[in-house]
Amino acid sequence: MSGQTRAAILAGRHPLVWGGAFGLGLALTAWLERTGRIDWPWNVALIGFFSLSLVPLALSARNRSRACGTASPALDMYNRRAMIWAFGYVAALGLAMTARNTWHPTGPVLWLLALLPSLAIAYYVWSLGRYLVEEADEYLRMRQIQAGMIATGLLLMVASTWGFLETFGIAPHAEGWWSVAVFAIAQSLAGIYLTARDQRDGGQ
C-alpha cells in the first residue's frame, strides 16, 4: 500500500474519530501525570504523539466540507494555520518544559519559558480573526462565528462546572491552560456538527 493510499484512507475517516483520539489522548496524559504514573519527558512525548491525530483530523474535516460544498480557499488557509499553531504549541511546550527540567532556570529566563507556549496561542487567536477577514462567503463566515459561539458556550460550561466541583472538593485542581485545549476541541466538534447539519439539510 502506497503512502498516498494510506493517507487517503486516514483522511477518509470521520473527523469525530480523530477528534476523539486527540481529546482522549490529552485526558489520558493528564490522568497519568496527575496520578504520578508518568513525569517529564514522557508527558510531553505523549502529548506530541496524540497531537499527530490533528493532521488526519484536519484532512478529514476538509474532505467533509468539500463533499457538502462548505469549503473555500480561506478555510483551507485557516486549517493550515491551525496545524501550525497546534504543532507550534506542542513544540513550545516541550521546549519550555525540557529547558526547565534540564537547566532549572530562574528569574527572567524562567518567565520567558513559562510564556513561550502562549505565543502559539496568540497565533491561534489571530488566525481565528484573520479567517473572518479573509472569508468572502458570508454563509461560511457565519458558520465559523456559530462554531466559535458554540465552543465558547461549551468552554464556559466545562470551566464553571469543573470550578464548582473543585470548590466543593470533588474534583482536583485544573490548570488554566487547559481552557485552550477545551475550546479547540469544542470548536472542532461544533464544526463537525454544522457540517453534518449541512449534509442533512442538503439531502432533503
DSSP states along 95-152: HHHHHHHHH---HHHHHHHHHHHHHHHHHHHHHHHHHHHH---HHHHHHHHHHHHHHH
For the stretch 102-119, pLDDT in tens is: 899 999 999 999 999 999
- In a domain, residue 13? The reply is yes
d(CA 189, CA 117): 24
Tally of domains in the chain: 1
- In a domain, residue 140? The reply is no
Average pLDDT over residues 141-164: 95
End-to-end CA distance of the chain: 38
- In a domain, residue 60? The reply is yes
Distances (CA, A) of 137 to 72, 169, 202: 8, 48, 18
Determine phi and psi for 107, rounding to 5 degrees: 65, -145
Tell me, what's the pLDDT at 150? 96
Tell me, what's the pLDDT at 204? 54
Give kind and range of the element (H or E) at residue 78.
Answer: helix 73-103
For the stretch 84-105, pLDDT in tens is: 988 898 889 888 988 988 899 9
- In a domain, residue 26? The reply is yes
- In a domain, residue 89? The reply is no
**Residues spanned by the domain of 21:** 1-67
For the stretch 16-55, pLDDT in tens is: 788 788 888 888 988 888 888 988 888 888 888 988 888 8
- In a domain, residue 47? The reply is yes
CA 198, 55, 182, 49 dihedral sign is positive
Average pLDDT, the chain: 85
Average pLDDT over residues 131-145: 94
